[in-house]
Structure 1
Amino acid sequence: MAAEVGKKEEIMGKVKITGKSHVKPSKVIGRKECQLVTFDLPYLAFYYNQKLLFYKGGDFEEKVEKLKDGLRVVLEEFYQMAGKLGKDEEGVFRVDYDDDMDGVEVLEATAEGISVEELAADEGTTSLKDLIPFNNILNLEGLHRPLLSVQVTTLLTSSNLF
């Protein structure tokens, strides 16, 4: 257990957030509300659904800007992802979006001394979750946090730039 905690601190100490921005739909949407149905409500008690993707090579800053440009277009149709959870007068949850909200959170980070090979190893799989922003955070935190957060991390090793 102590070794696992030490490994987590080691990984988190290597990941540094270098930038934070927000992305909103590229067109004006206005204020929208999307009522959650009974089927949706149990998911509020689940942890955030997180995905981790690896890409190799390329200009990091250029890739991040392309990602944000594409996200702006996608959010025109899926604007709810740029919103937050809200409640109506009766306490029923909904998704709220307004053009005045911050939008999707985009974090840029670097991780020095961590390689894809290290993360792909069997013992490295526990380290994967330490690289992503909203670990152990329930969906219910969408009342205070954005519904979608994207972290783009470049892995810096002595031999390669990912």
Structure 2
Amino acid sequence: MTEKEKMLAGQMYNAADPELSALRHKARIYRDQVNRELDKVKRNQVMKEWLGKTGEHFHVETPVTLDYGCHIFVGENFYANFNWTVLDTCPVTIGDNAMLGPNVQFYTALHPLDAQERIAGPEYGAPITIGDNVWIGGGAMILAGVTLGDNVVVGAGSVVTKSFGDNVVIAGNPARVIKKLD
């Protein structure tokens, strides 16, 4: 397997691999184009080229920071407010009608817990999957391996460390169910 294939599969990989370095460099070029572009139509066109998939109707406020970008898949009627940050070493899949507040962060990247192994440099990750009709409040962090079902509301400032099913409001650090929705 290539280092990119290992990365996307959630296996240990070498982030210094030339193919991955080139992909991150390409992402920086896209990031700069997106963050400089004031025209919404032109900005959306660049986002469509950068992301793995988008719906027809979506809007991303700038600035935005994406590690690779090409591993992010968003559905129809997607909205991300200012400062959306994604470390997409593994796929990030977001359903239809998702709304993200400002400063929302998605982190698929992980590092070994053992200090010597971590210092040696290998990395790994786990995908993030977000269902339909999800609203994520400002400043929330969604961590590696999390899946959120449909109709989930994430309170502002929450740190989501585990997966949750449909129709719940979650909040806190770590996030927990604070209300079930009908």
Q: Which TM-score tier does this pair reach, normalised by the shorter chain?
A: under 0.3
Q: Which has the larger radius of gyration?
A: 1
Structure 1 or 2: larger strand share? 2
Q: Give the alignment's TM-score, normalised by structure 1.
A: 0.26
Q: Give the alignment's TM-score, normalised by structure 2.
A: 0.24
